Chains A and B, each alone.
Chain A
Amino acid sequence: MLAFAIRRMFQSIIVLLVVGLVAFSMFNFVGDPVDSMLGQERTDADVERVRIQLGLDQPFPVQYYKFLKGAIKGNFGISYRQGRPVSDIIAERLPATLELAFVSAVLAIIFGVALGIFTAIRRNGWAANTIMTLSLIGVSLPTFLIGILLIYIFAVELGWLPSFGRGDVVDLGWWRTGFLTKSGLLAIILPAITLGLYQMTLIMRIVRAEMLEVLRTDYIKFARARGLSKRAVNFGHALKNTMVPVITVTGMQIGSIIAFAIITETVFQWPGVGLLFINAIRFVDIPIMAAYLMLISVMFVSINLIVDLLYFAIDPRLRLDKTKG
């Protein structure tokens, strides 16, 4: 197990180094950072000064090394557009995105797993069939349309929920939360549903498929032949076996939630890092793009790592085969 964990860790670091190289290349080759910083009126002396200031006169590997060193410390330079340190801007906006992603992930997992089990156990019932048909439409529906639809129904027509923003936030030192005010809680409902719906349908379909597969296995038949109760068979035996593959996919989906937050944040003008990223793309604000890329890569890679380690917690075959040698 230890060997496996180390190998996965090693792979993760390689992925991060590659992504870092991409981010670094963006800095250096996309547009001209000197251009971006100096604007139209400049002298050759200015250009030279800025080049040295940015370290652009040094050889490539040295620059890359410096970039990585900065990145580890969270230093990604200064936003071209806002003129403030990228790390500050991101730190300000990250809580909004994380809160949104957290609520969506919880919704997606709870409802996804529950509906997946339901549709698998009642696989020929009308309710299960209806849910499956809806989910197929749900998978084909672009996220932003769902968001607009929800805004139309609950904000425009019914007027129950706010259509944009985070509501009132409470400052907890470095973390601004919307969880502690009524308007903050109301404001997160629509974005969280929008963001979670797609992942929920995916999780549901995967749980269902896996569960159906497991329900066909011999050990489930044998468990039923032994007279175990439906509950014990479905939830004790089938569900645990279903969880092994489901965890991988769910893990990946949580990663996707953070990425898809870009869309939801745009629809609902949610002041998170996704909205920041989209605006950065629109105005080619390279430092922010690079920082966002690194940030999200670290999240993805960590999630994947955790998912892999969770495998060991659930599946004894993996755990014991290794210790046995």
Chain B
Amino acid sequence: MSEILLKIKDLIVEFPTRRGLLRAVDKVSFEISKGEVLGIVGESGAGKSLTGAAIIGLLEPPGRIGGGEIIFDGQRIDNLSDEQMRPLRGKRIAMIFQDPLTSLNPLYRIGEQLIETIQTHLSMDNKQARTRAIELLDEVGIPAPQTRIDAYPHQFSGGMRQRVVIALALAGEPDLIIADEPTTALDVSVQAQIISLLKNLCKERGTAIMLITHDMGVIAETADRMAVMYSGQIAEIGKTYDLIRNPKHPYSVGLMGSIPAIKGDVKRLVQIPGSMPRLNDIPQGCSFNPRCGKAFKPCYKKRSPLIEVGNSSVACWLYDEEYKGAKAK
């Protein structure tokens, strides 16, 4: 196993509301190694994006980190102030957002935004920074970067804009990119291009990616390891190949069953009944228990810790030694 870049331990993200604290991310732990691609899947509202925002220190108030630790390259960063965190942003940890159409400031030329970012992190004069910006645009596949650098965002298509966004994220040469649904807003035909571009560029640089998505296809293609999140918790985490081939948590099983396969049996796609509980309405025990076909006694009492099964870790009592062989009621 290679060197660990990011380690998250029991991370809690919570929102104070009139009716008490809501936990949107509930004791999430995982690690990302240098150069690794970790995929995070889950329905919207599962806490994926908030986990990403918490890492880079951009939780929108009143959201806040309510506990746990985030350790980046040996340094604890969850308790840093905004000013202390700033040198890390863009330089060590970069982030890409869902919608390339709104990620770029419409009033500035893309060159201005690139140069500004480059100069924030690397000591370069205007000319060097501009040359660097053109290089970056070239690398992300913008045609004729020498002239396009002076264009405004609205003069680019969605896919091209997301390429610019990637160039901006890479500008500070970060070690980790948090990509929050980077292709969801794009045309299906462009999605694959963007993903492979991101993957290749990071591979060349040895940059790790935390890829947040609800698109299993993207994860299967890109991620070395993946984590499945459900209502603020990790249900299962492990090697992508294992997890897709042999999902263990009943939720993962349902999730994989809902992917249409081109080859293979033409069965009906499996649908998970019901929907994810709302934050203020999470059931006792395992939060998946109302929708789980295999739920049994302990599932209604307590949430299972992550249990190592083969190469994966699963938060499900079915795999606990004590209950092994127990049947669904």
Q: Assess A/B contact in the complex (Cβ within 8 A).
A: yes
Q: Are A227 and B155 in contact (CB under 8 A)?
A: no
Task: Specify the chain A residue showing the minimal Cβ separation from B86.
Answer: A227
Q: Which of chain B's residues have a CB closer than 8 A to the CB of A241?
A: 105-107
Shortest beta-carbon distance, A172 to chain B, in Å? 41
Shortest beta-carbon distance, A241 to chain B, in Å? 6
Q: Which of chain A's residues have a CB closer than 8 A to the CB of B61?
A: 124
Task: Specify the chain A residue showing the minimal Cβ separation from B106.
Answer: A317
Q: Tell me whether A310 is interfacial, beta carbon within 8 Å.
A: no
Q: Which of chain B's residues have a CB closer than 8 A to the CB of A218?
A: 97-99, 102-103
Given the interface contacts A225-B58, A225-B89, does A219 sit within 8 Å of B102 by beta carbon? yes
Q: Which of chain A's residues have a CB closer than 8 A to the CB of B171?
A: 226
Q: Decide if the interface of chain B is mainly helix, strand, loop or mixed.
A: loop
Q: Tell me whether A217 is interfacial, beta carbon within 8 Å.
A: yes
Q: Are B87 and A222 in contact (CB under 8 A)?
A: no
Bound-complex Cα distance A316 to B94 (A): 28
Shortest beta-carbon distance, B308 to chain A, in Å? 34
Bound-complex Cα distance A132 to B108 (A): 31
Q: Which of chain B's residues have a CB closer than 8 A to the CB of A228?
A: 90, 116-117, 120
What 0/1 pattern do residues 115 to 141 of B give for CB contact below 8 A with A?
011001100000000000000000000
Q: Are A225 and B95 in contact (CB under 8 A)?
A: yes
Bound-complex Cα distance A219 to B106 (A): 9
Shortest beta-carbon distance, B99 to chain A, in Å? 6
Q: Tell me whether B300 is interfacial, beta carbon within 8 Å.
A: no
Interface-central residue, A232, A317, A324, by most chain B CB under 10 Å: A317
Q: Tell me whether A88 is interfacial, beta carbon within 8 Å.
A: no
Q: Are A232 and B116 in contact (CB under 8 A)?
A: yes
Q: Tell me whether B56 is interfacial, beta carbon within 8 Å.
A: yes
Q: Are B107 and A227 in contact (CB under 8 A)?
A: no
Bound-complex Cα distance A116 to B97 (A): 28
Given the interface contacts A225-B56, A227-B121, does A237 sit within 8 Å of B90 by beta carbon? no
Sorting the interface of chain A by its residue count into under 10, 10 to 19, 20 to 34 or 35 or more gives 20 to 34
Q: Which of chain B's residues have a CB closer than 8 A to the CB of A315?
A: 106-107
- Give residues of chain A (237-252) contacting chain B, Cβ–Cβ below 8 Å: 237, 240-241, 244
Q: Are B97 and A226 in contact (CB under 8 A)?
A: no
Q: Which of chain A's residues have a CB closer than 8 A to the CB of B99?
A: 218
- Which residue from B89, B152, B172 sits with its C-beta under 8 Å from A224? B89
- Give residues of chain B (139-171) contacting chain A, Cβ–Cβ below 8 Å: 152, 154-155, 165, 168-169, 171
Bound-complex Cα distance A219 to B87 (A): 19
Q: Which of chain A's residues have a CB closer than 8 A to the CB of B152?
A: 316-317, 320
- Which residue from A217, A224, A229, A314 sits with its C-beta under 8 Å from B58? A224
Bound-complex Cα distance A71 to B211 (A): 69
Given the interface contacts A219-B104, A226-B169, does A320 sit within 8 Å of B117 by beta carbon? no
Shortest beta-carbon distance, B29 to chain A, in Å? 23
Task: Specify the chain B residue showing the minimal Cβ separation from A238.
Answer: B105
Q: Are B103 and A227 in contact (CB under 8 A)?
A: no
- Give residues of chain A (202-237) contacting chain B, Cβ–Cβ below 8 Å: 216-219, 221-230, 232, 236-237
Q: Are B90 and A316 in contact (CB under 8 A)?
A: no
- Which residue from A226, A229, A230 sits with its C-beta under 8 Å from B168? A226
Q: Are B95 and A222 in contact (CB under 8 A)?
A: yes
Q: Are B116 and A222 in contact (CB under 8 A)?
A: no
Q: Are A222 and B154 in contact (CB under 8 A)?
A: no
Task: Specify the chain B residue showing the minimal Cβ separation from A220.
Answer: B105
Shortest beta-carbon distance, B159 to chain A, in Å? 17
- Which residue from B82, B120, B165 sits with its C-beta under 8 Å from A222? B165
Q: Are A227 and B89 in contact (CB under 8 A)?
A: yes
Q: Are B94 and A314 in contact (CB under 8 A)?
A: no
What 0/1 pattern do residues 9 to 42 of A give for CB contact below 8 A with B?
0000000000000000000000000000000000
Q: Which of chain B's residues have a CB closer than 8 A to the CB of A244?
A: 107
Bound-complex Cα distance A244 to B99 (A): 22
Q: Tell me whether B186 is interfacial, beta carbon within 8 Å.
A: no
Q: Tell me whether B23 is interfacial, beta carbon within 8 Å.
A: no
Q: Are A223 and B105 in contact (CB under 8 A)?
A: yes
Q: Which of chain A's residues have a CB closer than 8 A to the CB of B86?
A: 227, 229-230
Q: Which of chain A's residues have a CB closer than 8 A to the CB of B121?
A: 227
Task: Specify the chain A residue showing the minimal Cβ separation from B91.
Answer: A227
Q: Which of chain B's residues have a CB closer than 8 A to the CB of A230?
A: 82-83, 86
Shortest beta-carbon distance, B254 to chain A, in Å? 32
- Give residues of chain A (270-325) contacting chain B, Cβ–Cβ below 8 Å: 314-317, 320-321, 324
Q: Are A221 and B97 in contact (CB under 8 A)?
A: yes
Q: Which of chain B's residues have a CB closer than 8 A to the CB of A217?
A: 102
Bound-complex Cα distance A46 to B94 (A): 88
- Which residue from A226, A237, A240, A317 sits with its C-beta under 8 Å from B172? A226
Q: Tell me whether B195 is interfacial, beta carbon within 8 Å.
A: no
Q: Which of chain B's residues have a CB closer than 8 A to the CB of A223?
A: 105
Shortest beta-carbon distance, A280 to chain B, in Å? 46
Task: Specify the chain A residue showing the minimal Cβ separation from B151.
Answer: A320
What 0/1 pattern do residues 101 to 127 of A give for CB contact below 8 A with B?
000000000000000000000001000
- Which residue from B58, B91, B168 sits with its C-beta under 8 Å from A221? B58
Q: Tell me whether B88 is interfacial, beta carbon within 8 Å.
A: yes
Interface-central residue, A225, A244, A314, A324, by most chain B CB under 10 Å: A225
Interface-central residue, B94, B107, B165, by most chain A CB under 10 Å: B107
Q: Are A232 and B58 in contact (CB under 8 A)?
A: no
Bound-complex Cα distance A228 to B105 (A): 13
Q: Which of chain B's residues have a CB closer than 8 A to the CB of A324?
A: 155
Could you name 16 residue pairs across A and B whose Cβ atoms are closer than 8 Å? A216-B60, A217-B102, A219-B106, A225-B97, A226-B117, A226-B168, A226-B169, A226-B171, A227-B87, A227-B88, A227-B89, A227-B91, A232-B116, A241-B105, A315-B107, A320-B152
Contacts A217-B102, A218-B103, A222-B165 supplied; 10 other A-B pairs, CB < 8 Å: A226-B169, A226-B172, A227-B120, A227-B172, A228-B117, A229-B86, A232-B120, A240-B107, A241-B107, A317-B152
Q: Point out residues on B near A: beta carbons under 8 Å.
A: 56, 58, 60-61, 82-83, 86-91, 94-95, 97-99, 102-109, 116-117, 120-121, 152, 154-155, 165, 168-169, 171-172
